[in-house]
Structure formats: C-alpha cells, structure tokens
Amino acid sequence: MIKSIDEVRIEGKKILVRVDFNVPLDEEQNVTDDTRIRESLPTIDKIIDYGSIPILMSHLGRPKGEPNPKYSLEPVAKLMLEKYGYDVLFAKDCIGKPALEAVNRAAVGQVVLLENLRFHKEEEKNDIEFAKQLASLGDAYVNDAFGSAHRAHASTEALAKLFDTRLAGYLMINEIEYLGKTITNPIKPFVAVLGGAKISGKIDVIKNLMDKCSSILIGGGMAYTFYKALGFGIGKSLLEEDRVEMAQELLGETSAKNVKLILPVDTVVADSFNNETNYKTVKSDSIPDGWMGMDIGPETQKLFCDEILKARTVVWNGPMGVFEMENFAKGTYAIAQALADATTKGATTIVGGGDSAAAINKMNFQNKVTHVSTGGGASLEYLEGKILPGVAALEV
C-alpha cells in the first residue's frame, strides 16, 4: 500500500522530497519550461502547511557523475523565488557540509533545494552509503518525481527504504491514479493512440494494451514500419528494418484477438525533411519514391478523431507527425482537439508524457484533457505494465 501526504500528517519535521526538476535551460541558464516545477508546488505547499521544511532533491541533465555548472539547479532556486515567491536556501552540494548547513539554517516557511544529485556518480549506482548521507538530512521521505520513478537510483529507491515514513506527493499520486488504475481497469470503449518515431519503443505498450483496448490507432514514424510489413512502398520514410517482422506479428495478434489496430489511410509526404519543402497528401499505399511521410493526412485525422469521440477512456502517447514543423503538425493538433472534445463529453483522457505532452502543451490543450503525465520514459514503462522501482519503494 502506498500512502500519500494527505494520509500521514508530517508536522514539524524536515522532509526529504524527491522532485523532478529536470527542466530545460537556455544558454543564459534560464528555465525555459517550468511545468515540472509547477506540478510539484502543491506538494511543497502542503509540507510547509504542516509546519515542516521541504528539502528538495533532483537531478538535471546528464553531468556524468561530477559537478558541472551547466547542470546546476541554482537557476531553479532563482525561478522559485522570482516567479513563485518561495524563500529558497540553495545548497551548493546535495550531501556533506553545504547540504547540512543549509538544512540547519532553514526555518519553517523556507525551502531547501539541494544541488544536482547526479553530480555524484553514486546516485545512478543506487549506492546505499550515498543514500544514507542524504537520509541524514531529514526525518521522513516523500517522492513526487514520477518522471524519475522508472530508475532504480539512490534517491528514488535506496533512500526511500531507509525511512519508515515514506509517502507519495500529489503529482506521484495523480500519475499512479490515472496511468495505473485507469489503464488497469478502463471504462470502455478504451482507445489507445500511439505515435512517435519508432515501433521498437512501443511494442510492449501495444502488447500490454491489446487485451484491454477496443482500438489502437497508429500514427507517427512508427506507422511506416507497419506499412512495410503490409508490403507497401514507403519511399524515404522512417523505417526500422529489424522490426518489420515484429510489426507483422503484431498485426496478426491484434487480428486474432479482434482488436482494431488502425493504420493511417492517407499520409502527408515531403521531398525533404524541413518545413519549407514541397509536400502533398497521398494514399498510404502510394508513397512515391524519393518522398517521406511527415504526418497523417486529413482522411486519417477524421478516422482517428471519430474513433476517439466514441471512447470513454483514451490514452495518447506519441505525436502523429513532425509536429515541431508547422506544416506537419496538423495531425497531432487534430488528435489534441479530439481529446479535448472527448473530455468535454465525459471521457477520461490521458496524455502519456514525453513528446505528446510537449505537443499538447505547445498547442495549449493541457487544461482541456483529464491528465497530462510529467513522465516520459516512466509513463511509457507504466503503459507497458512494468513495475517502477521508485513507485515500488514507497510500498509499506
């Protein structure tokens, strides 16, 4: 059983909180997207309301186990103060004297933010001695970092097990509720919309969902491997040659189980990979040599949107095309609009992290669906039905 911070009152304590502040920074070290920070603020506020002191831990980027100013969390401390008004004490290290001094100096109402956990190679090695040094800073543990829950690292697994009081924050609880319980026992019809570049990353998702879904809609670059499996010419479109046989097997399995696996019927193709190039819409079995698929076509958009609007539960993971380029974003936009419309009609709609979350945020639909996951790899592994180490470690 996993308990939330609502279920256990952690009053007057120093609380180690694993957050996912792995946010993008520009060349001037300014945070360019603070979604992950914003999503954890309710958990931080709750701990402050209890009269406790949140001690925030996170990684940022891939500093390869040693200090690197490029990956410092100091810009996050600055944003929390300037944008959200938190009185943040920033510790120049996550263990040792700098961390201990910041924690000892902190008063109720203040927040401590420790420096990047991955400045120490022991973090990614799930080192118990490193975890014990972190544990010495606090009285209880809260994990609100779903985006890191698929990693068995010191701050997500070893550290949690050192505390009798280990709880899930609000962000973590929401992810478990929507990605876990909703998909385990969905209200039907249940439709999955899967896109993105590669079929290899979605094979286990398709296999896990095929027993639960009414239909699975396939878009994005992964569709062309399915086309190849059907014997279609795909021009210069993205292809995973070593996954063609797997695509054939998946088509056979879904057919045998009477699950509708729906591929695009038309495709927007371009003669080169850029926004300003020549492009046109063709039937999916008629992609010309020298052209590449860039987006689902208008017929497919209607077909997919009609299917989504029949659903009571929808999960979407992966864009329908190269949504970063305006001319090839229409398919992804249409799916986002359909999810918003389905939500209005009472469906539960879940956007599963990564590029699809980036797309729905870019298109300003994030508040028009039921849930947008903050986890990229974590949400994908949850959709595959895997047990996440950071979630399992919270079990008591």
Cα 244 → chain centroid: 27
Q: Nearest to residue 163, comparing CAs of 149, 143, 181?
A: 143
The residue behind tokens 């359909």 is 338
Give every CB contact of residue 60 below 8 A, 6+ residues apart in sequence: 21, 22, 23, 25, 71, 72, 73, 76, 116, 118
A 10 A CB-CB count for 241 gives 8
Return d(Cα 289, Cα 233) in angstroms, integer.
8
Return d(Cα 59, Cα 147) in angstroms, integer.
11
Catalytic member of 36, 243, 330, 368? 36
Q: Using DSSP bridges, classify how beta strands 292-296 and 166-168 pair: parallel, antiparallel or unpaired.
A: unpaired
Catalytic member of 61, 65, 377, 385? 377
Return d(Cα 188, Cα 212) in angstroms, integer.
9
Note the residue count of the chain: 396
Return d(Cα 102, Cα 91) in angstroms, integer.
6
How far apart, in Å, are the Cα atoms of 304 and each of 253, 296, 311? 21, 10, 11
Return d(Cα 80, Cα 40) in angstroms, integer.
11
Is 198 noted as a catalytic residue in this protein? yes
For residue 282, give the 3-state DSSP assignment.
strand
Return d(Cα 373, Cα 145) in angstroms, integer.
11
Is 151 noted as a catalytic residue in this protein? no
Half-sphere exposure (Cβ direction) of 12: Cα atoms closer than 13 Å: 0
Is 36 noted as a catalytic residue in this protein? yes
Catalytic member of 219, 352, 354, 390? 354
Is 377 noted as a catalytic residue in this protein? yes
Cα 258 → chain centroid: 30
**Sheet of 166-168: strands edge to edge?**
87-91, 110-114, 53-57, 14-18, 140-143, 166-168
Catalytic member of 38, 132, 161, 198? 198
Catalytically active residues are: 36, 198, 354, 377
